[in-house]
Amino acid sequence: MYGYRLKSLRKNIGKTQEEVAAGLGVTRGAYSHFENDRNEPDYETLRKLAEYFHVSTDYLLGHTDDPTTAKTFKEKISRLLSQEHSGSITLFPNKEINRPYTINDWPAFLASLPEDQAMHYQDVEYPDDQKVKIMELARKAKQKKMKKIEKFLKYSDEVIDDALIYAAFDDEKRKKMNEED
């Protein structure tokens, strides 16, 4: 999935593979392998890719369809909640399937995805059993995300504020360490 996103991001800024590779300090061949999903970037390279394209690592990995990076944890939670209430992260618009998926659910699943994800799944010929597994994995990911949000909302405002202060301090410390490297 990250390969398709990398290629789209690169084309959107009008760069060649050589230019991006040079900006990252990797060979064109290595970068080409990332774009074609032949190799996965290590954590440090993934971080560099996210910085280079000004997107989040979660976006590159397909964990979110929002390429922007939230500044605070609270902002991330607010964004998740607004997406959930707007219906943009529901698995199927206007209906939740509480039964095992079948291959007949695939067209509705594709229609519920953002365009770049849907195009990826349409461009690859998956066997029917893999399509069903993809839908089940998407459902599990959504359920896991919603459990985290529900758990977060149970904390008191004081605890949330303390966590945000610590997260901001830790983030600044990491930025300084990265600048020194």
* Model confidence pLDDT, tens digit, residues 36-58: 989 888 888 888 898 888 887 87
The confidence score (pLDDT) of residue 133 equals 92
Task: Return all residues near 59 (Cβ < 8 A) that are at least 6 apart.
Answer: 5, 50, 65, 66, 67, 68
Residues 88 and 159 in one domain: yes
Q: Which one-letter DSSP state was computed for residue 90?
A: -
**Distance in angstroms (rounded) separating the CA atoms of residues 59 and 5:** 8
Total-model pTM? 0.41
What integer pLDDT is reported at residue 85 of this predicted model?
45
Would you state the pLDDT for residue 46?
Answer: 87
Give burial (CB, 10 Å; 0-12/13-18/19+) of 61.
middle
50 and 77 share one domain: no
Question: Can you give the residue range of the structural domain that contains 30?
Answer: 2-61
pLDDT score, position 31: 94
For residue 44, what is the domain's CATH number? 1.10.260.40
Residues 13-31 pLDDT 10s: 899 999 999 999 999 999 9
Structure token digits, residue 122: 């349409």
In the predicted model, residues of the chain with pLDDT beneath 50 are 84-95
- 138 and 82 assigned to the same domain: yes
**Is position 66 within any domain?**
no
Among the three residues 61, 96, 112, which one is the final residue of a domain in this structure? 61
pLDDT of 22 = 94
- 28 lies in the same domain as 114: no
Contacts of 167 (CB under 8 A, 6+ apart): 72, 73
Find all residues with CB under 8 Å of 121, minimum gap 6, and list them: 110, 113, 134
